A = this chain, B = another copy of it.
């Protein structure tokens, strides 16, 4: 938990904000990792809030967040110069399955604010040879708040909006149907139901799929055992029953192999 100083806290419209923070640990963050942010010195809200890291640059870390409740409302009211308390980097982040980098195409699938971790990932793979693609789903055009940054770093992007106000009309899964090809690696982040649909599609096509999951979190460091996820895998050190196991989204994840997740109990 190192203090971070707000450099900028910019409204992007549609309740989205991009916050830049000066933070000594920024260089340590790997794509897909997250931080736990304490938005106030007050005891209400009590717990830290988890946010994926959107970008890092030297000792600057950027988070893309959507205002949905108490904590994010307070966060959006903070000003440059204010300090917040960051814990992290946390979680395991995206890992490119052994030997596949450069050989496989990365298909990133984002729903809503689930876009957040992909910018950092996109930057880290931008020199790969493959023709990577980001599929970005949002409710309306207004909600597609970070398209240009991806274009600027050369990530190809296709958009689906529920009302068709930008890109294809419909859900990301519609676009995916035609875009997901054998040999791709899929990285997905967004609402649970979307992830479930993406995972099923990937399984059908025999495509490797990694999903970044969300859970209510208290500690973020694997000790409260609050953020349990039912999985079908048998990683060591966990308790089993009926061949299932609980893993912790914060410390075992937040990124999981989609085949390990018990999608019926998500």
Contact = CB atoms under 8 A, between A and B. Distances in A.
A5 to B, nearest CB: 14
A1 interface: no
A127 interface: no
A42 B79 contact: no
Contacts of A70: 42
A243 interface: no
A44 interface: yes
A206 to B, nearest CB: 50
Contact of A43 (B41, B44, B79): B44
A40 B70 CA distance: 12
A266 interface: no
Nearest to A43: B44
A74 B78 CA distance: 12
A154 interface: no
Nearest to A70: B42
Contacts of A13: none
Contacts of A44: 42-44
Interface of A: 40-45, 70, 73-74, 77, 79, 82
Given A42-B42, A42-B70, 9 more contacts: A40-B42, A41-B73, A42-B44, A42-B45, A42-B74, A43-B44, A44-B44, A77-B82, A79-B79
